[in-house]
Structure 1
Amino acid sequence: MINFEEILNKKVNGVLATIGENGPQTRVFQSLWSENNKVYFCTGSQKDVFKQLVSNPKASYCVENKFSPVMSVNGDVSIIEEMEYKERAFQILPMLKNLYQEPTNPNFKVFCINIKQVKTFSYAEGPKEYSL
């Protein structure tokens, strides 16, 4: 199986898909880190993406791996309130200080996708699917 955590730990940009009132919604997002079959992100509580994740806690994240293959991870979403995760996000993305001032800001949210499925595609190998 592809080492998906190694790819996600490069703080890659990808497309995060959630489910909104009118169906699927996508937006470009950056992963923060991945470990223990989870990939972590952050956002603001006032944003539509956060409201969608609270309302329907399932998501998919697709990245174009520059080395091939294209990869998506799918699973259930958890909102993370522990301060150590928020502080880690601030360490990884120092520009968060400009947006939220500090990790204790109640509008600053960290969430993760608990990865249940990894899908890949390359022209050399075709589609592959792995369940965790």
Structure 2
Amino acid sequence: MTRKEILEFINKNPVFFLATQDSEQPRVRGMMVVKADEKGILFSTGKPKDLFKQLTANPLVELCFYSAKENKQIRISGKVELVEDLEVKKNVVEKFPFLKAVVEKAGYDVLAPFCLSKGKALVWTRELNLAPKEYIDF
């Protein structure tokens, strides 16, 4: 798969699982993509949350996207970066309207969008289950 094909897959399957590290304990949670394009994969959390603390302490993550219809999984590992751009934060609220009340109460500074702009991707299907792993530069 190419980076473009991976981005298309992500945009069709925007729910993913995000793996982080909390001290020496792994943590995984379901997340939703804000957007995925040539700049990378953007997702958001809140600065008061444990996820924010984990990502700022150790920005190395793995994202796992899955399509039951295609029976395909794509895992992408890399380093995320905090995005403090106000326009990006406004886009987050536009995509997830439930955050409007949060921003009205606490301001845009409470939002913490992160971007994974490059990393290594691994595609899995049942057919590839026992094949040697082929990593794709993302």
- Classify the TM-score, shorter chain: 0.7 to 0.9
Q: Percent identity?
A: 23
Q: Does 1:129 align with 2:116?
A: no
Q: What secondary structure, in the 3-state scheme, does the structure 2 residue paired with 1:9 have?
A: helix
Q: CA deviation at 1:99?
A: 2.9
Where in structure 2 are there 5+ consecutive unaligned residues?
A: none
Structure 1 counterpart of 2:66: 64
Where in structure 1 are there 5+ consecutive unaligned residues?
A: none
Q: Aligned match of 1:106 in 95, 106, 109? A: 109
User: What is the TM-score normalised by the length of structure 1?
Assistant: 0.88
Q: CA separation in 2, counterparts of 1:40 and 1:19?
A: 19
AA paired with 1:129? Y
Q: Is the 8 A contact 2:86 2:108 kept in 1?
A: no
- Greater share of helix: 2
Q: Aligned match of 1:50 in 49, 52, 67? A: 52
Q: Is the 8 A contact 1:44 1:109 kept in 2?
A: yes
Q: For 1:13-65, what per-residue CA distance to the aligned partner results, in whole angstroms no more than 9, with x for missing partners? A: 11101111123211111111111251101111011111010011111110112
AA paired with 1:85? V
For the pair shown, the structure with the greater C-alpha radius of gyration is 2
Structure 2 counterpart of 1:119: 122
Q: What secondary structure, in the 3-state scheme, does the structure 2 residue paired with 1:106 have?
A: helix
